[in-house]
Structure 1
Amino acid sequence: MQVDVTTYYLEMTDPQQLRPKPINNPNFEIKQVGIPLPELNQFLYTTVGKAWFWTNRLTWTLPQWTEWVDRSELKTWIGYLSGTPAGYFELELQLANIVEVAYFGLLPSFIGLGLGGPLLTAAVEQAWALGATRVWVHTCTLDHPRALANYQARGFRIFAHNNHSQEVVSPVGGD
């Protein structure tokens, strides 16, 4: 099915632009993945993105996932609620110390619990800690309805957007 999609590109150019949302749940913690594990990133991408038509990587083979995660430019963090993975983000270091929040989201069972703001705060803080001169992200109208508002509430500013028509296909195992 063809749908009209708007993609928004957002950025921060100074750490002072971050408007943090603190972690208010003592059972929520965020840890960096210490050992790249392609199956883990595949699980997170598939589970988080299922409802938002993240289908670009569904056909990736294990070697493709390995190539994506097993490089020094990519860092992955996972948010845990009471020891259970609740969300994640991937940061990709790019040229000129630019860091992209490549992927970000919560697993379906954890949406609406107030974890998105603190998780995004951690993503931005970690990006600046990597020595970023600019942190950017993109989101679109297929993503969670509060995604754009969360980015803007944390201090990201839209620097570009575009409209296009996109074929959306329900992912394998989608509802």
Structure 2
Amino acid sequence: MLTDGLHAIPPGKVAMIVTYLEMTSKPEIKQSTLPEGVAFRQVDAGLDWYRDIFRRVGSLDWLWYGRLTQSDADLLQILNDPKVEIFTLSRDGQDEALLELDFRQDGACELAYFGLTSNLIGTGSGRHLMNEAIRRAWERPVSRFHVHTCTIDSPQALSFYRRSGFTPIRQAVEIDDDPRVIGVLPNTAAPNVPSFRP
């Protein structure tokens, strides 16, 4: 249990506040349309495709790194699981979004990953992608749709999830190796998050 006050973060580490959110019934879906030239599709994701979109969506401006530290075998086990569904938005033939729905827990769906590249941010595409996520999650016999975000992700993520119908239910502090220090991400990744080398 953390006590009140400041707690030093060791060099080479990164700290984040993680917020867990859920919805327990399907919300009213907000109206959305995709911009011209943008298409939604399901993906039979391989390692190269997945790691490329993961980096372009979350590892340049933000500090997504969890899937980049997994072995090929561990990541393939997730990607090949029939209870994991992956979707994207394509613009003029280039994939520009990642939506990953995880139904591996009975009665629940986790919004495991959700994001757009900078090429689609601000176009309304994110709302459409979230509508697809909500619709597809609640098509299954689930009683809970959940997601978590943290302070090394986009600062817009938490408010977007809340506007989409998710309710915060708890928070935690996580400390982990800084992926830039251990060579998983380049030093230029997530310039908004300070990095302190040992």
Q: Name the TM-score, length of structure 2 as normaliser.
A: 0.77
Aligned partners of 1:169, 1:65: CA distance in 2, in Å? 18
Aligned partners of 2:90, 2:31: CA distance in 1, in Å? 17
Unpaired runs of 5+ in structure 1?
none
What is the identity, as a one-letter code, of the residue corresponding to 1:9? Y
Aligned partners of 2:45, 2:96: CA distance in 1, in Å? 18
Aligned partners of 2:133, 2:16: CA distance in 1, in Å? 25
CA contact (8 A) 1:80 1:86 kept: yes
Aligned partners of 1:166, 1:62: CA distance in 2, in Å? 21
More helix by share: 1
Unpaired runs of 5+ in structure 2?
1-11, 189-198
- CA offsets, 1:12-59, max 9 Å, x none? 1111x24424124232221112x3423222222222121321222223
Instruction: Name the SS for the 1:65 alignment partner.
Output: helix
What is aligned with 1:49?
Answer: 58
Q: Name the TM-score, length of structure 1 as normaliser.
A: 0.86
Q: From 88, 104, 121, give the equivalent of 2:114.
A: 104
CA distance 1:65–1:20, change in 2 (3 Å) = same
Aligned partners of 1:113, 1:28: CA distance in 2, in Å? 10
Number of residue pairs matched by the alignment? 173
Percent identity over the alignment is 26
What is aligned with 1:7?
Answer: 18
What is the identity, as a one-letter code, of the residue corresponding to 1:71? D
Q: Give 1:154 deviation, angstroms.
A: 0.8
Larger-gyration structure (1/2):
2
Aligned partners of 1:21, 1:141: CA distance in 2, in Å? 28
Q: Give 1:161 deviation, angstroms.
A: 1.2
What is aligned with 1:23?
Answer: 33
